[in-house]
Each structure stands twice: as structure tokens, then as C-alpha cells.
């Protein structure tokens, strides 16, 4: 389960729900509005959520999240050196609007299967008598 960011934090943070599980070694990056790397991470375990807090995240700024792609250069404690993340698949964009922000869609969890609310109408009851046991 992902650890959140406290609402009393003095720097901005984001919790990114990826919507599915990514394999260990799959890079994920937060990019600024110009496509420049804010942070790129290469987790050594499977993951479906990334929590990141930094003074680099600014109120009102636009960001994107990319998954996959290539990493060149050093990786230290799963963090990719600045500018060394390239060509991932764009997953989502967001504007930093609060000190603690959540983006993306959770993959499953308590409640409805796959985190979705059922749609459509309720099926009709079968005709006939109830079975007796």
C-alpha cells in the first residue's frame, strides 16, 4: 500500500496511481510542461503507485507522467540522473493544484472489482419457482 504525503507538508507532492502494475525495472518519470525530466525512477520491485515530493514541484505548474522508455547514465537508489530518461509512453498530465495531489486511477482495491463502479441496469430475476433444498 502506498504511503501518502502529510497535508501539513511545506513542499508539494504527488501520488500517482498508474492503473496497473509495472514490472520491476520499468522506468516512470515526471516531466515538466516542456518535457524536461523533473524526476525519473526505476523501482527494483513491481509497483502500481509512485509518491514523490520535492521543492521542484510548483503550485500551478503543468506536469506529465511517462512510463517505460530508456534510461541512460547513472541510477542511484532507483533515482535516474537528471536528463537521462528518454521516450516513455505518456500516461497522464496534471496541474499542481494543492500541496498534496493524487492523479491517475487506482488499480483495484477495496470495494468494486478493478476499482470500477458497475454500470448498466440490474439483471432481471430468473422466472419460475425458487428451488427447495
Tens-place pLDDT, residues 65-77: 999 988 887 777 7
- Going by C-alpha positions, the residue among 37, 108, 41 that lies closest to residue 80 is 41
Size of the chain in residues: 133
pLDDT for the residue numbered 78: 79
**DSSP symbol at 81:** P
Going from the N-terminus, what domains does the chain have, and what CATH number goes with each? Answer: 13-103 (2.60.40)
- Per the prediction, the chain carries an average pLDDT of 81
Helix (H) or strand (E) holding 59: none
- Strand spans (E) along the chain: 13-22, 28-32, 37-41, 47-53, 62-67, 70-71, 75-76, 79-80, 85-86, 89-95, 100-104
Q: Collapsing DSSP states into helix, strand and coil, what is residue 115?
A: helix
Instruction: Output the pLDDT for position 128.
Output: 74
**Does the pLDDT at position 111 exceed 90?**
no
Global confidence as pTM: 0.72
Mean pLDDT of 80-101: 86
**What does the block give as the cell for 125?**
430475476
Amino acid at each position: 500500500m502506498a504511503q501518502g504525503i502529510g497535508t501539513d507538508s511545506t513542499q508539494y507532492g504527488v501520488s500517482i496511481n498508474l492503473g496497473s502494475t509495472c514490472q520491476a525495472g520499468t522506468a516512470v518519470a515526471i516531466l515538466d510542461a516542456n518535457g524536461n525530466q523533473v524526476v525519473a525512477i526505476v523501482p527494483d520491485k513491481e509497483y502500481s503507485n509512485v509518491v514523490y515530493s520535492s521543492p521542484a514541484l510548483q503550485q500551478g505548474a503543468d506536469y506529465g507522467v511517462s512510463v517505460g522508455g530508456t534510461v541512460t547514465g547513472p541510477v542511484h537508489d532507483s533515482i535516474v540522473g537528471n536528463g537521462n530518461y528518454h521516450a516513455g509512453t505518456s500516461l497522464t498530465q496534471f496541474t499542481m493544484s494543492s500541496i498534496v495531489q493524487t492523479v491517475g486511477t487506482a488499480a483495484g482495491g477495496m470495494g468494486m472489482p478493478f476499482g470500477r463502479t458497475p454500470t448498466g441496469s440490474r439483471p432481471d430475476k430468473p422466472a419460475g419457482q425458487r428451488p427447495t433444498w
